[in-house]
A and B are shown apart, each in its own frame.
Chain A
Amino acid sequence: MKIPKDEILKPNHLACPGCGAALAMRLALKALGRKTVIVIPACCWTVINGPWGKNYAGVPVFHTAFETTAAVAAGIKASLEMQGKDDITVVGWAGDGGTFDIGLQALSGAAERNDDIIYVCYDNEAYMNTGIQRSSATPIGAETTTTPAPMLKNRPKKDLMELVAAHSVPYIASATVAYPVDLIKKFEKAKSKKGFKLIHILTPCPPGHKFPEDKTIEISKLAVETGIFPLYEIEDGRYKLNKKPKFTGIEEYLKLQGRFRNISEKEMEVIKENIKERWRRLEIKFEYFN
Chain B
Amino acid sequence: MKSLVLGGNDAVAYAVKQSYVDVVSAYPITPQTSIVEKIASFIAAGEINTRFIRVESEHSAMAAAMGASAAGSRVFTATSSQGLLLMHEVLHWAAGAGLPIVMANANRAVAPPWSIWAEQTDSLSQRDTGWIQLYASNSQEVYDLVFISFKLAEEVKNPVMICLDSFLLTHTKEPVAVFEGEIDGFIKEKKWKALLDVDNPEAFGALAFPKDYMPIKIQQFERMKKATAVFEKIANEFKNFSNRQHSVIEEYGDENAEVVLITMGSLAETSQLAIDKLKEEGIKAKLVKIKMFRPFPKDELKESLKNAKNVIVFDRNVSMGKGGIVKDELVGALGLSNCIGIVCGLGGYDVDEDDLVKATKDVLSGKIKEDTFLWGEK
Q: Which residues 55-80 of B have a CB within 8 angstroms of A?
A: 55-57, 59-61, 63-73, 75
For B203, give its contact among A50, A73, A78, A109 (CB under 8 Å): A50
B114 at the interface (CB under 8 A from A): no
Name which residue of chain A comes closest to B53, CB basis: A78
A150 CB-CB contact with B under 8 Å: no
Q: Which residue of A lies closest to B71 (CB)?
A: A79
A68 to chain B, nearest CB (A): 4
Q: Count chain A CB atoms within 10 A of each CB in B63, B73, B196 and give the residue with the most.
A: B63
Neighbouring A residues of B93 by C-beta, 8 Å: 64-65, 68
Number of A-B residue pairs having CB atoms within 8 Å of each other in the complex: 168
Taking a contact as CB atoms under 8 Å apart, the answer to whether B198 and A36 are in contact is yes
The segment out of A54-62, A158-166, A202-210 that lies at the interface is: A54-62
CA distance A36 to B198 in the complex (A): 7
A148 close to chain B: CB less than 8 A: no
Asked whether B63 lies within 8 Å of A63 as measured between CB atoms, the reply is: no
A contacts with B, residue count (CB < 8 A): 46
**How many Å from the CB of B182 to the closest CB on chain A?**
25
Q: Which residue of A lies closest to B65 (CB)?
A: A75
For residue A105, which residues in chain B have a CB less than 8 angstroms away from its CB?
Answer: 56-57, 59-60
Are B201 and A58 in contact, with the CB atoms below 8 A? yes
CB-contact partner of B63 in A46, A47, A79, A106, under 8 A? A106
Chain B residue with Cβ nearest A37:
B196
* A60→B203 contact, CB < 8 A: yes
- The answer on a CB contact under 8 Å between B64 and A74 is yes
Smallest CB separation, A47 vs chain B (Å): 6
Closest to A70 in B: B60
Q: Using CB atoms, name the residue of chain B closest to A68.
A: B63
Known: A78-B64, A109-B56. A61 touches B204 (CB 8 A): yes
User: Please, how many angstroms separate the alpha-carbon atoms of A60 and B203 in the complex?
Assistant: 6
A104 to chain B, nearest CB (A): 11
Q: Considering the complex, give the chain A residue whose CB is closest to the CB of B197.
A: A60
Given A52-B212, A60-B201, A82-B22, A72:B196 Cβ within 8 A: no
Residue among A54, A63, A81, A82 facing the most chain B CB atoms (10 A cut-off): A82
CB nearest neighbor in A for B25: A75
Q: Which residues of A contact B70 (CB under 8 A)?
A: 62, 72, 75-76, 79
A52 touches B208 (CB 8 A): yes
B53 and A74 contacting across the interface, CB-CB below 8 Å? yes
Report B-chain residues with C-beta under 8 Å of the C-beta of A75.
23, 25, 53, 63-71, 75
Q: Which of B60, B68, B205, B212 contacts A76 (CB 8 A)?
A: B68
> With A and B bound together, what is the CA distance between A5 and B42 in angstroms?
48
CB distance from A49 to the nearest CB of B (A): 6
Q: Quick check: B73 and A79 within 8 Å, CB to CB?
A: yes
B89 at the interface (CB under 8 A from A): yes
Name the distance in Å between A45's Cβ and chain B's nearest Cβ: 11
Structural contact, B203 and A63, CB atoms closer than 8 A: yes
Asked if A251 lies at the interface with its beta carbon under 8 angstroms from chain B, I say: no
Bound-complex Cα distance A57 to B198 (A): 12
> What 6 A-B pairs are tightest by C-beta distance, nearest first?
A75-B67, A109-B56, A75-B64, A79-B71, A63-B205, A68-B63
A interface residues (Cβ-Cβ under 8 A, vs B): 34-37, 39, 46-47, 49-55, 57-65, 67-68, 70-83, 88, 105-106, 108-109, 112-113
Residues of B within 8 A of A (CB): 22-23, 25, 49, 51, 53-57, 59-61, 63-73, 75, 89-90, 93, 194-198, 200-209, 212-213, 216
Other CB < 8 Å A-B pairs besides A60-B195, A62-B203, 9 of them?
Answer: A46-B207, A60-B202, A63-B207, A64-B93, A68-B63, A72-B66, A72-B70, A76-B68, A79-B51
A selection of 7 A-B contacts at a CB cut-off of 8 Å is: A52-B216, A68-B59, A68-B90, A68-B93, A72-B64, A74-B67, A79-B72
